[in-house]
Structure 1
Amino acid sequence: MAKDIKIALVGNPNTGKSTLFNLLTGLNQKIGNFPGITVDKKVGYCKLADNKQAEIIDLPGTYSLYPKSKDESIVFQVLADKKNSSYPDIVVLVADATNLRRNLLLYSQVADLGVPVVLALNMTDMAKKEGIDIDINKLSERLGVQVVAISARSNSGLAELKQAINNTTAIATQVEGTDVHVLAPEAIALVKQHIKTDNNYLALQILHQHQHLNTFSAQDHELFERIIAEHTFESSKLQAAETIARYRYLSGVLSGVVKDTGAAKKFVFSDKLDSILTNKFWGFLIFIGILFFIFNSIFSWSSYPMELIEYAFVWLTEYGHQHLPDGILTNLLLDGVLAGLGGVVIFIPQIAILFAFISILEDTGYMARVTFMMDKIMRKFGLSGKSVVPMIGSLACAVPSIMSARNIESWKDRIITIMVAPLVSCSARLPVYTLLISLVVPEKMVWGFINLQGLTLMGMYIISISAAVLVAFVMKFLIKAKEKSYFIMELPVYRMPRWTNVIYTMYEKSKTFVFEAGKVIIAISIILWVLATYGPSERFAEIDKKYEAIEAQKDSVQISTLERDRAAEKLENSYAGILGHVIEPAIKPLGFDWKIGIALITSFAAREAFVGTMATIYSVDSDGEVATIRNKMRGAKDPDTGLPVFTFATAFSLMLFYAFAMQCMSTVAIVFRETKSWKWPVIQILYMTGMAYVASLIAYQLLK
C-alpha cells in the first residue's frame, strides 16, 4: 500500500499504545515479523489531513532504550538505524499522563536520537480524576515538541493528534536535554567520526549496544569493541549515570507543569479492590469463580449459534448432493473439503467467547493481578513469576507464549517455561474437548446454576495446568543452573474494558483460527478424503464382487443397507483404513479404534484437525444420509460388540491424550527456534507423548 509518511508508536508498557494503534488503523492492519526475528510486527494504515496516507508501526513496549528482552531491543534497532525498513519519519511517543515523569525518560532518549517526535499524553481524563493537572502548553514549550492530550479509551484528541503529526516535519530539530557527551567524551568522538554523525547520543548508544544493529560490518563491530576496551567504557555504570542525569533534567522540566492535587485519592479504588482480589484466600476463590463462569458461558452461550452453523453445513451438503452432478469432484468438495471446513467453523462461537473473556480480563487489569497472585506458588514449583504470563497466554496459543518467555532473564526458568507451556490447554484443544464432552456428558445444570458440560471443560483445563506445574517441579531438579531470577511487575489501575477492543479481539482471533487452522484442515481433509476413498485395487474389486453377489440374491428393500455396509468395508480397506489398522494394536488399550487412530495421526499437524478428520471419515463412511458430525459420532457402533464407539471411558481417555500429547508442529518449530537446538523439542515430544499414552491407558482401564 502506497504511503506518504511512516509513523512509529513508541511507549512504556500499559500506556494504551496498542489501543491508539487500533483506534488509528481500525481493521486496516496486518501482523508479520520484523526481518530476521520472530517478534511480532504490527503495521496498519490510516488517513491524515490533506488525504495523506500514513503507515503506522506499533513497536513493542519498553521502559527505556536499554533493552531487557529481545522484544524491547526492537525499539532501538528501528530508531537507531536509518537503513532499517521500519525506520519512521515521525515517532508518536505515547505517555501515561498519570505517571508522566517515568514515561518521559523514554521520550528524552528517543528525542536525543534526533528522530522527529510528537508527544501524545494518553489517559488525561484519568489523570484529571486523580487530581493531576498538566499544563500542556508549558510542557510543549519546555520540551520543544508538540504535546497533544488524548484519551484512546474515549476516542478523544485523535483529530488534534493527526493535525500535530501533519505539522511535524521530518527535519524537526530535537534539543538534547542531557549532555551525554561528558559520560565518555573520547569514545563518543571516535564513534561519531567513524559513522559520520554529529549526534552524541547515537554514538553513545552504539557503544552500549552496537551488537543489536545489523547495519554494521564485522570490522565495524571489532572497531567499536576496541574503542570500548581502550577507553574503559563501563556500560552498566554509564547507563545508571545517564538515567540519573535524565531524571534530574526531567524534574526541572516538570516543575510547575504537573500539579498533583489529589495525591490522597490516587489509586484508592484500585488499592481497595486489590485488598480483596489479591487476598491469599478470597483472591483465589474469586479467580476460581471467574473460571467457573467463563467455562459455563462457553457452553451455554455458544449452543444456539453452533447448532445454526452445524445445520447450515448439513443443508449445504444436502443441497450440493441434490444439485451438483455425481462424481469424484462433487464428493471431494462436499464430503472432503466442506465436511472438514464445517468441523472448524462450528467452533467459532466458542473461540470468540473464550477470547472475549481473556480480552476483558487483560483490559480491566485483572490478568496482571492473577500473575501477581501466582508468583509465590510458581516459585515453589521451579518457575519464575514471569513464567505465569506465558502459561496464561498458552490458554490461547502456545506459540506466542513460548516467544514471550524471552522476557525471563534466568536461562533455567526460561527453558522450564518453554518445556511446560504446551501442556496448558490451548484454544486448538477446545474444539476436541467440546465435541467429546457434548457426546458423553449430559447437558444439565448442577446446583441449579452450573452447567455440567462447562464444569467438565473446566476440569480439563485444571488437569492441564496442574500437569504443567508438576512437570515444572520435576524439571526443577533435572535442569541445573546457578542464576537467580527476579520478578518485577507494574500493576495497572483497574479500568472498564474497551468494548470495541474486545469485539476486535473476538473478530481477529476467530479469523485467525478459521484461516490458520482452516488452511491446515482443508489440506488434511483433501488428502484424507483421497486416502479414505481409494485403496488397493484388488481389495476394492473383491468387495464389489462380494456385494454384487449378495445384491443378486436380495430384494431391493435391503439395497440401502448393503450400500452402507459396502461403504464401511471399502473405508476399512482404503489406504487410510490400512494406516489406521497398522497403529490400532498400539492404541486399542486406550479405547481407540482405527478411525480414531487416523485422527491422532492427522492431529500432529494441528490438534483441531481431529474434528475435521472425524467429519471427513464419517462422511466417506456414510450411506448417503447427511447428518451432523456429532450425530454421526454419537451413532457410531463397535462392529465387534455393537456398543457405542464413543463411551465415557473412550471420550475421557481421548481428551486426556489431547491434553498431554505434543500434537502441534508449529510449537515444535518455535521451540527449536527459541532454544536453537533440536534437543529440547525432541525431549518435549517424547515426554508429552509418553504422558499422554500413560494417562489415557490408566483412565480407559479404570473407567471402562
Structure 2
Amino acid sequence: MHGKGRKPVRFLKPYRLIGENFCKTSDFVKARPLTNLILRPHVANTPLNIALVGNPNSGKSSLFNCLTGLNQKVGNFPGVTVDKKTGFANLDGGQTINIIDLPGTYSLYPKRLDEWVSYRVLLEQDSDVKADAYVIVIDASNLKRNLLFCTQIIDLKKPVVIALTMADLAKKKGITINIAELERELGVAVVAVNPRKEKGLKELKRAIEDTVSGKYKVPVRDFINNRALAPEAIAGLKGMLPGTSDYSALHLLINHEGFEFDTATQDRIENIEKANAFNPTKTQATEILERYGRIKHIMQVSVHEPDPLEQTLFTDKLDNVLLHRRWGYLILLGVLFLLFQSVFLLAQYPMDWIDAGFSTLSAWVSSVLPEAWWSDLLVNGLLAGIGGIVVFVPQIMILFGLISLLEDTGYMARISFLTDRLMRSVGLNGKSVMPLISGFACAVPAIMSARSIENRKERLLTILITPLMSCSARLPVYAVLIGLVIPNNHLLGVISIQGLVMMGLYLLGLVVALIVSYIAKWFIHIKEKSFFILELPIYRAPRWSNVLHTMGSKARIFVTDAGKIIMIISLVLWFLSSFGPGKRMEDVEARYAQAKVENLKPAAQLETEYSTAKLENSYAGILGKSIEPAIRPLGYDWKIGISLITSFAAREVFVGTMATLYSVGEDDKEATLLRDKMRAAVRPDGTPVFTLATGLSLMIFYVFAMQCMSTLAITKRETRSWKWPAIQLAYMTALAYGMSWIAYQLFV
C-alpha cells in the first residue's frame, strides 16, 4: 500500500475502468501477497450480515435489488420510522448472507434522522443491527465526493469491500479509473459492478467471502493521521474504552450524546473533552480538509478526468429546459396534472372491480347464511372492513409505481428543487410537494411517501397537513352536493359554474394547508436544523422490476399494518350502527312487524323505512340526535349528523348513508332519486334542508374534516404515537366547524 510501509501489491496486469471493461476481482485476488492473509474462524452455516452503505444516488438500492432479487422485506429500524430493507443472497460457496441496505449518507457527520441510523450501525452503537462486513457503494462518476465517506469507514477499522458503480456514466464523462492503483491506495478490495446489467456480481460476492473469512486484514495505518487531530482527548477515551480505534474515539468524543451510554460514561467522556479543551467543530473541519488533501493525491495517481468544459451531457441539456425559470414550472404543472389524472383514472377500474367483487361476495354470503347477528357482523362488519382496506390497494400501488418511475428517471429531484422556495416559506421543503400532490388521490399513500423527508419537523408538518388535500373519496360527496345546490349554468357559454366550484374546493384545501403549516411551524419545537442538500441525478430509463417491487411492497405494508387498525374501527362502527337500547329496538321491530301484517306499503319501501328506523334508534342514530344541537348552527339536521358519523369510515359513505336515510330504493336511477329526495327534504318548520347555505357549508366541512379512519391509522403508524393523530383530528375538526359556520352564516 502506498505510503503505509508495506510492499506494493503486484498485479498480473494493469487495468483501466473504461465503460464496461472491468478489472476482474479474480485477477487482483490472485495477485495479493501472502503476507496479507490472516485466519479468522467462521462457522460456514451461520448467515453473514453484510451492510450496504454509500452516498445517496450512488446505485446502492440498485445493487441491493440485484443481489437479493425477490428475497426482500421492508420494515423499520428499531425505534425510528426509517425504511429498513433487508434481503438474502447466497455466495458461490453456498454461504448465506443477510444484506441490510443502510440509508444513504454523505459523510460520518450525520445531520438527518436516516443518517443517524447508518451512523449508529457504523459506530457499533446499534444493538439490533450488527454487520460482519460493509460493502461501500461508490459512484465512479463522482469519485472524489464518494471517497470522503469511504475513507472514513475504512478508518473505523471495518472489514470493507468497495463496489464501484456508474461506470457507463463515467465513460460518457470521459473518466478513466485505474482500479489496481485505487485499490493499492485504499488498501481494500475494489470491484467494478453494473447492477442494471448484472455485471461484476460474481466477483463482488467472492470479495465479500474473502474479506469476511479473514483472508485480507483491515489496513493497519489510518488513511490520515487521526490521532494528531486531538491526541490527548483520543488517548483519554481509548484508555476508558480499550479496543476503540483512533477514529472511532474521535467520533465518540464528538457525538457521544447521541449514543445510549449510561450517565457515568457520558460524564467521563464530557470530562475528557473539558480537560483537553476538545473543539468538535475545529476537529471536524481539520479532518475533512486533510482527507480531501489525501483524496486529491489518489485522484491524481488513479483517475484521469477530462476538462469539465470539454463535454456537455444530455442531462445538462435537458435540465436547461426542465429547470428553466419559467418553462420549468409549466412543465412541472403538466407532469403533476398527468400524475393526478393517471392515479385517478387508472385506479378507478380496479377499485370498481374490487368493490363489485366484495358486493357480490357479500350478497352471496348473505343469501347462504341465516339471518342472525353474527351473519350481519360477518357481512357488514368483517367483509365490509376488509373491502374498505383492499379497495385502497390499487391507488397505493399505482401512486407508488408512478413515483418510482419519476425517481428512476431522475425527475423527482427536479420537482423538489423547483418547489423548495414556496415550501420553505411555510415551514416545509421541496420534498414535501409530492406527498401533498399525492394527497389529491389518497392521503394514505401520500403520508407514507413523506418518509423521503429527512427533517423530522418538516416531515411531521407534511403529515399533519396532507389530509387537507381533497382526495378522490371526497368526489362523490362533492358531486352530489354540487348537483344539489349549484345551478348548472355557464359563464361565457363554456365555463361551467359547477366545475368552477369543484376546482375551488380543491384549491381551498391546498391554500389552507399551506397556511396551517405556516402557523404550526411555530408550535412544533423540534430542534433539528433543516438541510436541503439535493443532488440532481442523471436521467435514466426506469427499471420496471424495481417499480413492480415497490408497488407490491407498499401495498403489503398498508394491508398488514394500517389494515389491522382499520378493521377494528370498522367493527366498532358496525356495532354502533346495528345495535341500540333494547326498548327502542324492540319498538322498531314491533312497528315493522305490524306494518308487514297490514301490508299497506310495498315491501321495498317498507324495508327501507325499517332500515332507516333501525339506524335512527341505533347507538349511531342516538349519537346523531345528540350532536344535532352542536351541528344545527352549520345548517345540519340529525340525518346529516348520522352521515358525518358513518362517513368517518370513508368519506364516500356519506352518499350511501343519505340514500338509506331518505329511503331510496336501489335501481338504475338511484343518483337522480337521491338528489330529488334530498332536494325535497324539509325541516319540521317546512323549510328546505339542503339550501345553498347548507350545501356550501357541508362541502366545506368535507374539505377540512378528517372523516377518514384510514388516514388516522397511517398517521399513527408513521409517527409511532396517538398524539399526532389526535392533534390532527382535533385541529381539522375545529377548522371544518369554523369554516362551515362562516360559510353558512354568509349564505343563509
| In the alignment, structure 1 residue 205 sits paired with structure 2 residue 247 | no
Do structure 1's residue 422 and structure 2's residue 464 form an aligned pair? yes
Q: 1:469 aligns with which of 514, 530, 543?
A: 514
Please give the alpha-carbon distance, in whole angstroms, between the structure 1 residues aligned to 2:392 and 2:499. 15
Q: Give per-residue Cα distances to partners, 1:405-441, cap 9 Å, x unaligned.
A: 6537xxxxx47x74465223489x6352344356568
Equivalent residue for 1:563, pick from 590, 596, 607: 607
For the pair shown, the structure with the greater C-alpha radius of gyration is 2
CA contact (8 A) 1:340 1:615 kept: no
45, 67, 71: which is aligned to 2:110? 67
What's the counterpart of residue 135 of structure 2? Answer: 92
Distance in 2, matches of 1:631 and 1:316, equals 27
**Whole-Å separation in 1 of the counterparts to 2:176 and 2:129:** 36
Among candidates 216, 226, 229, match of residue 183 of structure 1: 229
Equivalent runs, 1:125-140 vs 2, <5 Å: 125-140=168-183
**Are the aligned partners of 1:95 and 1:122 in contact in 2 as well (CA < 8 Å)?**
yes
Greater Cα offset, 589-598 or 117-126: 589-598
Change (3 A) 1:635 1:515: farther
Q: Tell me the amino acid that sits aligned with residue 144 of structure 2.
A: R
State the partner residue of 2:25: none
For 1:49, what is the secondary structure of its paired residue? coil
CA contact (8 A) 2:405 2:547 kept: yes
Deviates further, 312-321 or 630-639: 630-639
The answer to whether structure 1 residue 196 and structure 2 residue 239 are counterparts is: no
After TM superposition, the structure 1 = structure 2 runs for residues 396-435 of structure 1, keeping only pairs within 5 Å, are 407=455, 414=457, 418-419=460-461, 421-425=463-467, 430-435=471-476
Deviates more, 1:457-466 or 1:617-626: 617-626
Distance in 2 of aligned mates of 1:239 and 1:38: 29
Aligned residue for 1:62, secondary structure, equals coil
Residues of 2 paired with 1:262 and 1:79: CA distance? Answer: 36
Cα distance change of structure 1 residues 655 and 152 upon mapping to structure 2, 3 Å threshold: farther
What's the counterpart of residue 321 of structure 1?
A: 366
1:202-351 aligned within 5 A:
202-214=248-260, 216-261=261-306, 263-264=308-309, 268-351=313-396
Partner of 1:582: 626
- 2:501, 2:398 → 1: CA distance? 17
1:411 alignment partner in structure 2: none
Q: Conserved in 2, the CA contact under 8 Å of 1:123 and 1:152?
A: no
Greater displacement, 134-143 / 205-214: 134-143
CA deviation vs aligned residue, 1:289-309 (integer Å, no higher than 9, x gap): 122222222333333323322
How far apart in 1 are the matches of 2:149 and 2:46? 27
| Cα distance in 1 between the residues matched to 2:437 and 2:349 | 28
- 1:393, distance to aligned residue in structure 2 (A): 7.9
TM superposition shift of 1:154: 3.8
Cα 1:122–1:225 shift into 2, 3 Å: same
Cα–Cα, structure 1 residues 177 and 116, in superposed 2: closer, same or farther, change >3 Å? same
C-alpha deviations, 1:257-311, integer Å up to 9, x for none? 2222474465532222222222222111111112222222233333332332222
Secondary structure, counterpart of 2:137 in structure 1: strand
**Structure 1 gaps, min length 5:** 409-413, 443-449
TM-align CA RMSD: 4.3
Q: Which amino acid aligns with 1:196?
A: P
Structure 2 distance, partners of 1:392, 1:351, is: 14
Measured against aligned partners, the alpha-carbon deviations of 1:498-522 in whole angstroms (never above 9, x if no partner) come to 2222222222223333334432332
CA gap 1:305/1:377 in 2 versus in 1, 3 angstroms: closer
Separation (CA, whole Å) in 2 of partners of 1:346 and 1:649: 33
| Higher alpha-carbon deviation: 66-75 or 475-484 | 475-484
The 8 Å contact of residues 113 and 455 in structure 2, kept in 1 or not, is answered as: yes
For 1:210 and 1:309, how far apart are their aligned partners in 2? 53
CA distance in 2 between partners of 1:22 and 1:438 (Å): 44
Corresponding letter in the other structure for 2:474: Y
Q: Determine the C-alpha separation between the residues in 1 that align with 2:316 and 2:635.
A: 52
* Deviation per residue, 1:178-233 (Å, 9 max, x gap): 1111111122122112211162111122111122222x322121111111111111
Match of 2:59 in 1: 16
Structure 2: state its 5+ residue gaps: 1-44, 484-494
Q: 1:648 to 1:119 in 2, by over 3 A?
A: farther
2:211 is matched with which residue? 168
Q: How many angstroms apart in 1 are the aligned matches of 2:536 and 2:365? A: 55
Matches within 5 A, 1:629-668: 637=678, 640-641=681-682, 656-662=700-706, 664-665=711-712
The whole-number CA distance in structure 2 between the counterparts of 1:25 and 1:593 is 58
Tell me the number of residue pairs that the alignment of Structure 1 and Structure 2 aligns.
683
Contact 1:398 1:422 in 2 (8 A): no
Which of 159, 162, 170 is matched with 1:119 structurally?
162
Return the match for 1:547 from 583, 589, 592.
Answer: 592
Do 1:5 and 1:89's aligned partners in 2 also have CA atoms closer than 8 Å?
yes
Relative distance call for 1:296 and 1:163 in structure 2 (3 A) is: same
Amino acid at match of 1:226: N
Q: In the aligned structure 2, how far is the partner of 1:521 from the partner of 1:673?
A: 16
Counterpart CA distance in 1 for 2:193 and 2:635 is 60
Q: Are residues 338 and 61 of structure 1, via their aligned partners in 2, closer, same or farther at CA, if it must alter by over 3 Å?
A: same
Distance (Å, rounded) in 2 between the aligned partners of 1:510 and 1:659 = 26
Task: Sort the Cα spacing of 1:282 and 1:201 in 2 relative to 1 into closer, same or farther, 3 A.
Answer: same
The 1:347–1:84 alpha-carbon spacing in structure 2 relative to 1, beyond 3 Å, is closer
- Whole-angstrom CA distance in 2 between matches of 1:455 and 1:133: 58
What's the TM-score once normalised by structure 1's chain length?
0.84
Residue 401 of structure 1 and its aligned partner are, at CA, apart by 6.8
**Deviation (angstroms), 1:85:** 2.1
Quote the Cα distance in structure 1 between the aligned partners of 2:547 and 2:498.
25
Amino acid in structure 2 at the alignment position of 1:312:
G
| Letter in structure 2 aligned against 1:18 | S
One-letter code of the match for 1:340? G
Q: CA deviation at 1:566?
A: 1.6
1:424 is paired with a residue whose SS is helix
2:82 is the alignment partner of 1:55: no
Within-5 A mapping of 1:5-44: 5-44=48-87
Q: 2:616 aligns with which of 572, 583, 601?
A: 572
Deviates more, 1:202-211 or 1:649-658: 649-658
Superposed CA offset, 1:33-86 (max 9, x none): 333444333322333333322222121211111111232122221122277220
Tell me, what secondary structure is at the counterpart of 1:119? strand
Deviates more, 1:44-53 or 1:174-183: 44-53
1:14/1:275 Cα in 2 relative to 1: closer, same or farther (>3 Å)?
same
397-406 vs 642-651, which deviates more?
642-651
State whether residues 693 and 743 of structure 2, in contact with CA within 8 Å, keep that contact through their aligned partners in structure 1.
Answer: yes
Find the counterpart in structure 1 of residue 492 from structure 2: none
Q: Distance in 1 between matches of 2:699 and 2:714?
A: 19
**Alpha-carbon distance between aligned partners in 1 of 2:408 and 2:94, rounded to the nearest angstrom:** 33
CA separation of 1:173 and 1:435: change in aligned 2, threshold 3 A: farther
Higher mean C-alpha deviation, range 685-694 or range 224-233: 685-694
* 1:592/1:493 CA distance change after superposition, 3 Å: farther
Correspondence for 2:733 = 689
Cα separation, 2, equivalents of 1:111 and 1:292: 47
Is the 1:347–1:431 Cα contact (8 Å) retained in structure 2? no
Indicate how the Cα distance of structure 1 residues 169 and 631 shifts in structure 2: closer, same or farther if over 3 A, else same.
Answer: farther
